[in-house]
Structure 1
Amino acid sequence: MISSAPISRRTLLAGAGLSLGVLASGVLTSCAPGPGTSSATGTTTKLRITLGWISNVEFGGYFIADARGYYAEEGLEIEFLPGGANAPSASQSLAAGNADIGLSPSMSDTIVAAAKGNDLKILGAVFQDSPGGIVSLTKKPITTPQKLASAKVLGQTGTQPYLDAILELADLPPATYDFVPAGFDPSPLVDGQGDAYTCYVTNQPTTLEAKFGLVKGKDYVTVTYSELGLPSYADVIVTTGAFAKANEETIVKFLRASIRGWQDNVSDPTIAAKLCVEKYGADLGLDLDQQIRQNELQIPLLQSDFTATHGLLNMDTELLTAKMLPAMKAAGQEPVPADVDGIVDLSYITKAYNGASTL
């Protein structure tokens, strides 16, 4: 089992990827280098990729693409810049010129930051369904907005706006649930201190399984905020408009290799887990069994009906505008643009797939 620190931040970011983080507070002053600054030596181009969190299996597809030489085949040399509780966000790293591409856990923070005038472009998304959600025991499953409305919810301060938004979008009275502040360990749920616990459905459930021997479906159930009516993408791929404009071919190559890595990850969840434990996160003390289980839980969230026909990492801009932007507004995000034109640019991933849905 991994330490509580990664769990804590992931929990704080929970909320269908609709974080109320400081990134959206204003325009980020860009110190980013001009077009073409991604260093090239011979035929190899170096790309700096800033991760939205520590080097664990959440970024497994990228690690597979690196370890299996998919980036090298595209003439790319990748430098991964791990994040952490006190690390700069992807948007901040991009604005400071410390990274070329960022992997941002919160789609909504990125959209709001772009709407405030920051030069940000979203190129794709790993999670088609954000892992933010709720876990409850099967003896009293909390799996619908109606059940949530009357539940005693154990959660982290700051998650209430998302719970309220779920009820609002379901035309239910807000704040009818009983909210009990809780830490980052789901043990109080097992102890009967509440009916539900806010979590990342890919993370805290692994604690329930390892610590208490609970079995998903038999002893506990999870539901994402998206399934409760508050949809969002998560772990979006971000760059600056200036870098994207000047480095189209490089970005297409990066996406093409990354897609191959994520396809491999879907096929076998053990590959990335071993890479994280033995190489990319070797200094973090990660547990192999936990990393495999986390990957097993996250793989279904990487796929959707849309990716079945359009490929992994792709995004449905119609769904984003029709459903996700209203969800952001209901959760208190400001400003929320009328649409994502100029913010989400899928032309690069379209070129990476070149008419196919798999690579």
Structure 2
Amino acid sequence: MIKHGLMRWMRGVAGMVLAAGIAVGAARAEEPDKLVLQLDLGVRNVQFAGVLWADAHGWFEEAGLDLEIRPLPKGYGDLAANVAAGEHTIGSIEGGLFLSGRAAGEPVVAIGTMFQASPLGLVSKVHHGVKTPADLVGLKVAVHGDGHEALATVLETGDVDPALVTVSEAEYGDGPLLRDEVDAKQAYYVDEFVRMRQAGHDVTVLRYKDFGHRAYSQVLFVSETTLAENRDALVRFLQVHHRGWQAALADPEAAAKLVVERYEPQLDLAYQVESLKQIGELVWAEDKRTGAASPATWTEAAERFRSTHPDAELEPMAAWTDFTLVEEAFADGEL
């Protein structure tokens, strides 16, 4: 009796230990994968509406992800370098700046993009009559450091001699344009242009994408280490990213309201609604799979970068792009 009772007790203890081990293992398996999305703006506005919609509705958590959406802090420094040095971090950056970072030796890889076309353009007052690149002849044009190659492409497309356009470095803010210190200024037509129109200024925009500038904006990129160690989590991120943008663009008014009320109450709601409506044509400009990028567009961007940076050493595209994560994200055909 004692022997049989002892055996039953031991079997019971073993069962409890096994059950406890299974429970701990299950808990560990269910721990979400940590990711950081480092934005290239200091504000979480509707340029990131798809991600913010998914975050607010808990879709990243449902996919087993613990995602921190981090606005760009003041004094953050070089975005590509910081993402390259960070753990489990996804960066969002302009295509040209991504290429600059890679050419500078940063071990970063593009895994997708938020905008499949560039929102870059030149904003000018209507009275200048700027509708095509040819209308820039004789004008003073201000561009930022990352915009010279884009402007060069636009002028080449319009068969305009660059010597006939006075180009200077742009200050941040609308002041120089509104004070007529320059005639046209580089801007996002989904952002600064909308803001000036909302403020009542009589301005127009020359959209670069309409005149030969093929480039990606809000490129999603990671370090080579993050890609190797977090591949499955990154695929799930891209799946939720797609779902979020589908929902946000299906109802721009609701999405803009969510962004303002939940994330950035200081933003003007009407401004955000109009900006998001402009963004809609950029997200799926090439492919209905959100985040997808094409080798052809990256090849063109790389050739343009090399032509304007003759001393830069940019490796072949296979070293700094990975198209397979998007392919995996859409492999089941449900998205």
TM range (shorter): 0.7 to 0.9
Partner of 1:348: 325
In the alignment, structure 1 residue 312 sits paired with structure 2 residue 300: no
- The amino acid that maps onto 2:281 is P
**8 Å CA contact retained: 2:35, 2:90:** no
Q: Which residue of the other structure, out of 100, 112, 117, is the alignment partner of 2:88?
A: 100
Q: Superposition pairs for residues 1-359 of structure 1, below 5 Å? A: 42-54=30-42, 55-97=44-86, 99-155=87-143, 159-160=147-148, 162-168=150-156, 171-179=159-167, 183-186=171-174, 189=177, 194-212=182-200, 220-282=203-265, 285-304=266-285, 306-308=286-288, 311-321=289-299, 323-332=300-309, 335=312, 337=314, 339-354=316-331, 356=333, 359=335
TM-score between both structures, scaled by the size of structure 1? 0.75
Deviation track 1:273-324 (CA, whole Å, cap 9, x = no partner) reads 2233222234xx22222222221222212221x213xx11100112221x22
- 1:226 match: secondary structure: helix
Deviation track 1:217-274 (CA, whole Å, cap 9, x = no partner) reads xx54323333332321011111112221222211111110111001112212233322
**8 Å CA contact retained: 2:91, 2:220:** yes
**8 Å CA contact retained: 2:30, 2:64:** no
Q: CA deviation at 1:86?
A: 2.0
- The amino acid that maps onto 1:312 is T
What is the rounded CA distance, in whole Å, between the counterparts of 1:227 and 1:334 in structure 2?
Answer: 29
- The amino acid that maps onto 2:57 is R
What is the rounded CA distance, in whole Å, between the counterparts of 1:222 and 1:175 in structure 2?
Answer: 22
Deviation track 1:170-211 (CA, whole Å, cap 9, x = no partner) reads 554223113466644446645666543321111122232222
Structure 1's 155 and 91: CA in aligned 2 closer, same or farther, altered over 3 A? closer
Structure 2 residue runs without a partner (length 5+): 1-27
RMSD: 2.8
- The amino acid that maps onto 1:249 is D
Of 167-176 and 128-137, deviating more is: 167-176
Structure 1 residue runs without a partner (length 5+): 1-39
- 2:302 match: secondary structure: helix
- 1:175 match: secondary structure: helix
What is the rounded CA distance, in whole Å, between the counterparts of 1:157 and 1:93 in structure 2?
Answer: 19
Structure 1's 160 and 76: CA in aligned 2 closer, same or farther, altered over 3 A? closer
Partner of 1:17: none
What is the rounded CA distance, in whole Å, between the counterparts of 1:320 and 1:67 in structure 2?
Answer: 32
- 2:37 match: secondary structure: strand
**8 Å CA contact retained: 2:149, 2:305:** no
**8 Å CA contact retained: 1:149, 1:167:** no
- The amino acid that maps onto 2:304 is A
Q: CA deviation at 1:85?
A: 4.3
- 1:239 match: secondary structure: strand
What is the rounded CA distance, in whole Å, between the counterparts of 1:103 and 1:63 in structure 2?
Answer: 15
**8 Å CA contact retained: 1:165, 1:331:** no
TM-score between both structures, scaled by the size of structure 2? 0.80
Deviation track 1:138-173 (CA, whole Å, cap 9, x = no partner) reads 444323332223333255577555434533465542
- Over the matched positions of the two proteins, sequence identity in percent amounts to 25
What is the rounded CA distance, in whole Å, between the counterparts of 2:196 and 2:233 in structure 1?
Answer: 42
Q: CA deviation at 1:351?
A: 0.7
Aligned pair count?
A: 307
Max Rg structure: 2
**8 Å CA contact retained: 1:169, 1:330:** no
- 2:162 match: secondary structure: coil
Structure 1's 143 and 41: CA in aligned 2 closer, same or farther, altered over 3 A? farther
What is the rounded CA distance, in whole Å, between the counterparts of 2:139 and 2:58 in structure 1?
Answer: 49
More helix by share: 2
- 1:124 match: secondary structure: strand
